[in-house]
Chain A
Amino acid sequence: MAKLNQPTTSGRSTSRKRKTGRRSPLATFALIAIGLGLTGGVYAAANATPSASADTASSTQQQVSDGEHLFQANCASCHGMNAVGTAAAPSLIGVGAAAVDFQVGTGRMPMAMDGPQAEEKTPQFTDAQTKELAAYVASLAPGPAIPDAQYLTGNTDAAAGAQLFRINCAMCHNVAGAGGALTEGKFAPPLKGVTPAHIYEAMLTGPQNMPVFNDRNITPEQKSDIISYLTYLEKNPSPGGFALGDLGPVAEGLFLWIFGLGSIVGLAVWITAKSN
């Protein structure tokens, strides 16, 4: 897939360089490369749809050993053969199943490339494989576990969750969970569409630059309330109509300045223009 894409991009850039109307001799190749890339992409996307989800019972020895094999094949190049860490990546001893389930389950790990932060993408592993990896890492040392389903219902006290969210989360993730910018290219991602389990795991483990909110800081019940608030936001539309990304005064102000004032100027021009 990645190999197929490479000629696509290079072909595009060569054809863009030619400003003359004549067709470049490379155009045919570029066209073929684009066609191949698209076909491969569609095929890969069709294949990548998640397969059957495994039951979330406690990890078995089979899961741990399967996870170890997956780890050695996919993660050990950066995290070391026994997850002790290398210069390129931190040790995973004691990060727990919750951290693995979040990082691998949201596609952040394995990282696509080095950058300000690992970004969310289509997960590389199936749900069952993610659980196996989590079971292996959890078997190395005790750490936060994958949260219990009772805290992920999303129908507890949303108002209490909103208060906690405003105090602990809103400064980075925006009060409506729309996300926001941090320093040097890092950003707090939007929280819409994130599963309750991943939200819980993020609070518990503090992935990347997000601080840790352990169970003594925000109790499991309070975490459950925060998830309920985010679920409420997702299920209930904005009462004001177009939310413009929930980004607040900048987006809304820009919209009003351009379209609100624009229409007023347009009306003024129409009223004062002479009719023919």
Chain B
Amino acid sequence: MAQDDSGSSELAETSSTAVEHPVEDHRLGDPGTAIVVADAPVNPGFPAHRPRLTDTDPKQNRRAERTVFTLFYLSIAGSVWAIAAYLAFPIESGNLADVRTSTLFIGLGMVLALLGIGIGAVHWAKQLMNDHEGIDIRHGVAGSEETRERAIEIFEEANEESGFGRRTLIRNSLIGALVAFPLPAVVLFRGLAPQNVDPIKELKHTMWAKGTRLTKDPTGLPILASDVTIGSVFHVIPDGLNDREDALEQKATAAVLLMRLRPEDLHVSPARKDWNYHGIVAYSKICTHVGCPVALYEQQTHHLLCPCHQSQFDITHEARVIFGPAGRPLPQLPITVDDQGYLVAQSDFHEPVGPSFWERNS
């Protein structure tokens, strides 16, 4: 079955020393207990050994040898190239084109160096190294009887000498210490979460409050109602956001898109009658699907498109969903103007912004 001498001798050795799984049993089955199938699949063994071209033709053999050492020499050349490229293409100018050239040529050298070694080694193994097939029979993993007895002996001796089984107070206190050891990590990780706040309340409220001015992102300058011409879009943050330490967290919920439509294009429900100011409307920029920023506003169709999953909101109908996976309209921010003509919020959003969460009622 095995095609070469070393394979058969190894096979014989294995069968004589194996304790748990004699090779004969493994291969022939036990006629006493097993169901003997008449047409059991027969191990076909190896296909006939086919000599390679490099085995039969000395010319091919020399050629393969040349190929392999050429690849290794190429690898050396690649390494030298990489060093030379590092010196030849400095990136001191800081110019992006120089960075790219430097990276490109160093990388090409390193690729040549590594691929030369790899392809050369595989080619060597495939063409020139001995290609006989052999079997290594799997053997049992358990040690011999004496080894196992000796191991148990060692454990018992250690238990005896250390008193681990006898001195129960020491043992139990050690177990207690080991259990207590990871506790600080748990407490420290808990400390990373917000402290002393109700996360549900956090999700339900944003930075907007009565009288908060609408300001431009990123400058934080207030917006006059007269600045917002028809067809305009302003990307809005609440006044004072840039001064806060948690500006990014607040922006993630308070970002607003401000648009002006012709008032006759708006279909306003009675409850939201005074939420817009002469056709200027403000909607949360956070998609109600999974919270992407919705800001692709088409000023002719008045559709607002979310780039992540193509939800579309119709601004003329209070941002109702007209396409896509979003489940709810975008929350509207009620706005008005203060005595200086700047746009201000009437209140916070009347519903939580962004995607659904477990405790959300609507």
> Which B residues from 277 to 331 make CB contacts under 8 A with A?
293, 295-301, 303, 305, 307, 312, 323
Q: In this assembly, does A20 line the interface, its C-beta being within 8 Å of a C-beta of chain B?
A: no
CA distance A270 to B299 in the complex (A): 57
How many residues on chain B are close to A (CB under 8 Å)? Answer: 42
- CB of A275 within 8 A of CB of B296, answer no
CB within 8 Å for A241 and B104 given contacts A168-B235, A217-B227: yes
A210 at the interface (CB under 8 A from B): yes
Q: How far does the Cβ of A207 sit from chain B's closest Cβ, in whole Å? A: 10
B229 at interface, CB cutoff 8 A: yes
Chain A residues with Cβ below 8 Å from B233 are: 168, 211-213, 217
In angstroms, Cα B96 to Cα A275, docked, is 46
Which chain A residue lies CB-closest to B231? A212
Distance to closest chain B CB from A102 (angstroms): 14
Instruction: Verify B307–A171 contact, CB threshold 8 A.
Output: yes
| B227: contacting residue among A209, A216, A274, CB under 8 A | A216
CB distance from B221 to the nearest CB of A (A): 10
Q: Please report which residues of chain A, range 201-254, place their CB below 8 angstroms from some CB of chain B when the two chains form the complex.
A: 206, 208-214, 216-217, 236-241
Q: Quick check: B231 and A211 within 8 Å, CB to CB? A: yes
CB distance from B47 to the nearest CB of A (A): 10
Determine whether A172 belongs to the interface, using a CB cutoff of 8 Å to chain B: yes
Q: Decide: B297 and A211 in contact? CB cutoff 8 A.
A: yes
- Are B300 and A172 in contact, with the CB atoms below 8 A? no
On whether the beta carbons of A214 and B100 are closer than 8 Å, the reply is no
Question: With A and B bound together, what is the CA distance between A218 and B259 in angstroms?
Answer: 15
Known interface pairs A171-B293, A182-B298, A271-B122; A239-B100 also in contact (CB < 8 Å): yes
The reply to whether the CB of A258 lies closer than 8 angstroms to some CB of chain B is: no
Closest to A216 in B: B227
Bound Cα distance from A275 to B233, whole angstroms: 67
A214 and B307 within 8 A (CB): no
Interface size on A, residues (CB 8 A): 33
B326 to chain A, nearest CB (A): 14
Given contacts A183-B298, A186-B298, A217-B216, contact A236 B96 (CB under 8 A): yes
With contact pairs A167-B218, A239-B100 given, residues A212 and B298 touching in the complex (Cβ less than 8 Å): no
If A237-B97, A239-B96 touch, whether A276 touches B52 (CB-CB below 8 Å) is yes
A180 located at the interface, meaning its Cβ lies under 8 Å from any Cβ of chain B in the complex: yes
Cross-chain contact A182 with B231 (CB below 8 angstroms)? no
Q: Is the CB of B235 within 8 A of A167?
A: yes
B213-228 CB contacts (< 8 Å) to partner A: 216-218, 224, 227-228
A205–B127 CA distance with the chains assembled, in angstroms: 71
How many angstroms from the CA of A182 to the CA of B302 in the assembled complex? 12
* Interface assignment of A163: CB less than 8 Å from any CB of chain B: yes
List the A side residues contacting B131 at CB < 8 Å: 275
Inside 8 A of A186's CB, which chain B residues have their CB?
Answer: 298
Q: Are A239 and B296 in contact (CB under 8 A)?
A: no
Given known A183-B305, A211-B297, A217-B216, contact A239–B232 (CB-CB < 8 A): no
Report the separation of the CA atoms of residues A276 and B55 in the bound assembly, to the nearest whole angstrom. 10
Proximity bits, A133-164, B CB within 8 Å = 1, else 0: 00000000000000000000000000000011
Q: When chains A and B are docked, how far (Å) is the Cα of A168 from the Cα of B217?
A: 9
Closest to B64 in A: A275
CB of B53 within 8 A of chain A? yes
Q: Determine whether the beta carbon of B299 is less than 8 Å from that of A212.
A: yes
Say yes or no: B235 contacts A209, CB within 8 Å. Answer: no
Give the most central of B53, B126, B323: most A CB within 10 Å: B126
Residue of A nearest to B260 (CB): A212
Kindly provide the distance from the CB of B89 to the nearest chain A CB, expressed in whole angstroms: 13
Closest A residue to B303 by CB, please name it.
A183
With contacts A236-B97, A241-B104 taken as known, whether A209 is within 8 angstroms of B300 at the C-beta atoms is yes
Per-position binary interface string of chain B over residues 94-135, scored 1 when its CB falls under 8 Å from any chain A CB and 0 otherwise = 011101100110000000000000000010001100010000
Which residue of the partner chain A has the closest CB to B258?
A217
**What residues on A are CB-neighbors of B95 within 8 Å?**
236
Across the interface, do B100 and A237 meet the contact criterion of CB distance under 8 Å?
yes
One digit per residue, 1 when the CB lies within 8 angstroms of any chain A CB and 0 when it does not, for chain B 175-208 equals 0000000000000000000000000000000000
Contacts of A168 in B (CB 8 A): 233, 235
Nearest neighbor of B322 in chain A, beta-carbon distance: A183
Contact: B227 with A167, CB < 8 Å?
no
A237 to B300, CA, bound (A): 35
B86 sits at the interface (CB 8 A): no
Q: Which residue of A lies closest to B297 (CB)?
A: A211
Bound-complex Cα distance A208 to B300 (A): 7
**Interfacial chain A residues near B259, Cβ < 8 Å:** 211
Q: Contact: B96 with A237, CB < 8 Å? A: yes
Q: Which residues of A contact B300 (CB under 8 A)?
A: 208-209
In the assembly, what is the distance between CA of A182 and CA of B224, in Å? Answer: 30
Residue contact B224 to A216, C-beta cutoff 8 Å: yes
The CA-CA distance from A167 to B104 in the complex, in Å, is 33
By a CB distance below 8 angstroms, the chain B residues around A208 are: 300
Output the least CB separation between B321 and chain A (Å).
13
A binding-site residues for B, Cβ under 8 Å: 163-164, 167-168, 171-172, 180, 182-184, 186, 188, 206, 208-214, 216-217, 236-241, 270-271, 274-276
Q: Residues of B at under 8 Å CB distance from A? A: 50, 52-54, 95-97, 99-100, 103-104, 122, 126-127, 131, 216-218, 224, 227-235, 259, 293, 295-301, 303, 305, 307, 312, 323
Q: List 23 A-B contacts (CB under 8 A).
A: A164-B218, A167-B218, A172-B296, A182-B298, A183-B298, A184-B301, A209-B299, A209-B301, A211-B232, A212-B231, A212-B232, A212-B233, A213-B232, A214-B229, A217-B232, A236-B95, A237-B100, A238-B100, A239-B96, A239-B103, A240-B100, A270-B122, A275-B126
Given contacts A217-B227, A237-B96, 16 further A-B contacts (CB under 8 A): A167-B217, A171-B293, A184-B301, A210-B299, A211-B231, A211-B297, A212-B231, A212-B233, A213-B232, A214-B227, A214-B229, A217-B216, A236-B96, A240-B100, A241-B100, A274-B50
